[in-house]
Structure 1
Amino acid sequence: MRPIVSEAELGGDWEVAAPDSNRVPGAMMGGFLERVVGTGAPMRVCARPEVTVVIQFGEAPLRVTAGGEQRQLGGVVAGLAPMPQQVTADRIECLEIRLSPLSTRTLLGAAPSELRGEVVDLDAVWGREAPLLREQLSETPTWAGRFTILTAFLAHREPVGAADPEVAACWNRIVATGGRVRVQELAEWTGWSRQRLWSRFTAQVGVTPKQAAKIVRFRHALDRLAAGQPVADVAAICGYADQPHLHREIVAFAGTTPRTLTH
């Protein structure tokens, strides 16, 4: 697990931490600290099949750049398919949470549909609780202590409703098949019309069923490319029509080429 939703060249010397167990169902946690100050290594925000929360507890804010504009934030939330953006900081000191979209309403206190296509200021989601949480984390000297604080914080979040069982089942099937499932098959499986499935799924997951399948397939392809598998093999295994099709999907979801992401 890397900071943010990055597949970029990070550089520097990193301290990486993980909790001793999966403390919160539906969430994965990680801690990242850049020992070398001032590298400002850029990190690319890419689509992925989780909602990603980054809490920067060090003194240096995150700098989020998109469309020629830059924001300085103490934390960010990225939906499943954010617009390609870059994030930098003079020094990364953060906790990252990756949430299943099915858990986002409970653990984040917001619906995934509110995050579609955006990298959102964490303060806008958690309000005054966000800076208080950052202060607690910054005053805690150990990763174990920080994970304990974050676990307790998530446990007391106010849920805003759960996903329909049919939506949850469709999402799990998309993930299980690596994104290689047709929307019509999902609709027949649930007994819903395509229109009802499209509407309910989009409202509760934040993207359409078709886009969800594309994102899951994209991440499978990216993992294989990062492992050094040939592009032609990855395109065939992941169900792309050809290499140009895979190239277009990566550019669309990551804002760059396969070569840039894997080198």
Structure 2
Amino acid sequence: MRFTANAREDPAAWDVARPRRAGPMAGVDMAGFSVPGPLRGGLRVVPHPAVMLILEFGASRPVVDDGAVRRRRGSVVAGPGFGCGGAVRAWGEDVACVQVRLSPVVARTILGVGPADLDGALVDLEDLWGREASRIREQLAEAHSWQDRFALTQALLARRYEPRSPVDPEVARAWHRIGVGRGLVRIDRLAAELGWSRKRLWTRFQAQIGIPPKRAAKLVRFDHAVHRLVAGDTAARVAAECGYTDQSHLHRDVTAFTGLTPATVAGEPFLTIDDIAWPTRQLPATTRVSATRAGR
């Protein structure tokens, strides 16, 4: 889950870390975050097209509030698109975590549950993994460096990995096409390309990825567009180049996903830190804020 900082926070003080080497498993990436002091106003959860695994180990356990009645404390898992509407926020003090992004295609092989099983909700990791969730928290807290924590996390994921694919090859191909096309894919043409009916693609995709293909395309398009806004592109240019009919269309999508306007979301500092934490993202290299790359 991507956290965006309240304007009163200073993201330059955040410790943002990357593994020195890519892990051995496809569809898995990770980054480390340490935020000193309290999270004033909470951190807004912005939807992202991945399954998010948050392994926290800070001085206190953060709480995620969905804006309604559900609260989760500590390490959690959420499916693609979680946080839609902008009401979900995270609270805590001296927060530290390893965040793992899992492609929905491979999530079940590691988590033991697929994106559809999460049903759009936030799930306590202890409910899925039992005592192992507590053990990894203790190990991460005792580790001396971010690189040691990444090694521990990679070992954990490898230990839980089940090599049998949980999704149809056609569904995996559809997800890949949506990602490569940055959401600009017609679902009927995609179904025809796969040799499936639109109904079959819709049903199998939602059952295995957790969201319908049209929703997945919309989420991927939004994710690309919002990073273009943060990088400094104008709303008019982003709308024209990201497949929106006009600026009003872009405005509606950004508001629906985040509860913010394009002008407001462009000023969210953690979305820029997001590009430091996940440098494989293909976006303009404009940077507005700085953060420490930890490799100690």
- Shorter chain as denominator, the TM-score bin is over 0.9
**Distance of 2:192 and 2:250 partners within structure 1:** 28
Q: CA deviation at 1:116?
A: 3.4
Per the alignment, residue 11 of structure 1 pairs with 10
Q: CA RMSD in A?
A: 1.7
Instruction: Give CA-to-partner distance per residue, 1:116-155, whole Å, 9 cap, x none.
Output: 3222222222222111111111111211211111111100
Q: Which runs of 5+ in 1 are unaligned?
A: none
> What is the number of residues matched between the two proteins?
259
Per the alignment, residue 89 of structure 2 pairs with 86
1:64 partner letter: V
**Distance of 2:117 and 2:260 partners within structure 1:** 25
After superposing the two structures, state which structure 1 stretch, 119-128 or 202-211, moved more: 119-128
**Distance of 2:62 and 2:265 partners within structure 1:** 21
Residues 130, 186 of structure 1: CA spacing in aligned structure 2 closer, same or farther, 3 A cutoff?
Answer: same
1:201 partner letter: F
After superposing the two structures, state which structure 1 stretch, 38-47 or 249-258, moved more: 38-47
Per the alignment, residue 195 of structure 2 pairs with 191
After superposing the two structures, state which structure 1 stretch, 75-84 or 65-74, moved more: 65-74
**Distance of 2:244 and 2:46 partners within structure 1:** 19
Secondary structure of 1:37's counterpart equals strand
Correspondence list, 1:106-125, <5 A: 106-125=109-128
Per the alignment, residue 172 of structure 2 pairs with 168
Q: Which runs of 5+ in 2 are unaligned?
A: 268-296
Residue 72 of structure 2 contacts residue 122 of structure 2 at CA under 8 Å; is this kept in 1?
no
Per the alignment, residue 143 of structure 1 pairs with 146
**Distance of 1:106 and 1:190 partners within structure 2:** 24
Question: Does 2:256 correspond to 1:252?
Answer: yes
Secondary structure of 1:189's counterpart equals helix
Question: Does 2:208 correspond to 1:211?
Answer: no
Residues 247, 104 of structure 1: CA spacing in aligned structure 2 closer, same or farther, 3 A cutoff?
Answer: same
Q: Which among 221, 227, 231 is matched to residue 231 of structure 2?
A: 227
Per the alignment, residue 61 of structure 1 pairs with 61
Residue 82 of structure 1 contacts residue 116 of structure 1 at CA under 8 Å; is this kept in 2?
no
Q: CA deviation at 1:68?
A: 4.3
Q: CA deviation at 1:98?
A: 0.6
Question: Does 2:31 correspond to 1:30?
Answer: yes
**Distance of 1:41 and 1:207 partners within structure 2:** 30
Residue 43 of structure 1 contacts residue 87 of structure 1 at CA under 8 Å; is this kept in 2?
yes
**Distance of 1:127 and 1:221 partners within structure 2:** 38
Secondary structure of 1:80's counterpart equals coil
Residue 179 of structure 1 contacts residue 214 of structure 1 at CA under 8 Å; is this kept in 2?
yes
TM-score (structure 1 length as normaliser): 0.92
Residue 44 of structure 2 contacts residue 89 of structure 2 at CA under 8 Å; is this kept in 1?
yes
Residues 204, 226 of structure 1: CA spacing in aligned structure 2 closer, same or farther, 3 A cutoff?
Answer: same
Question: Does 2:107 correspond to 1:104?
Answer: yes
TM-score (structure 2 length as normaliser): 0.83
After superposing the two structures, state which structure 1 stretch, 64-73 or 12-21, moved more: 64-73
Per the alignment, residue 273 of structure 2 pairs with none
Query: What is the aligned-residue identity percentage?
Result: 44
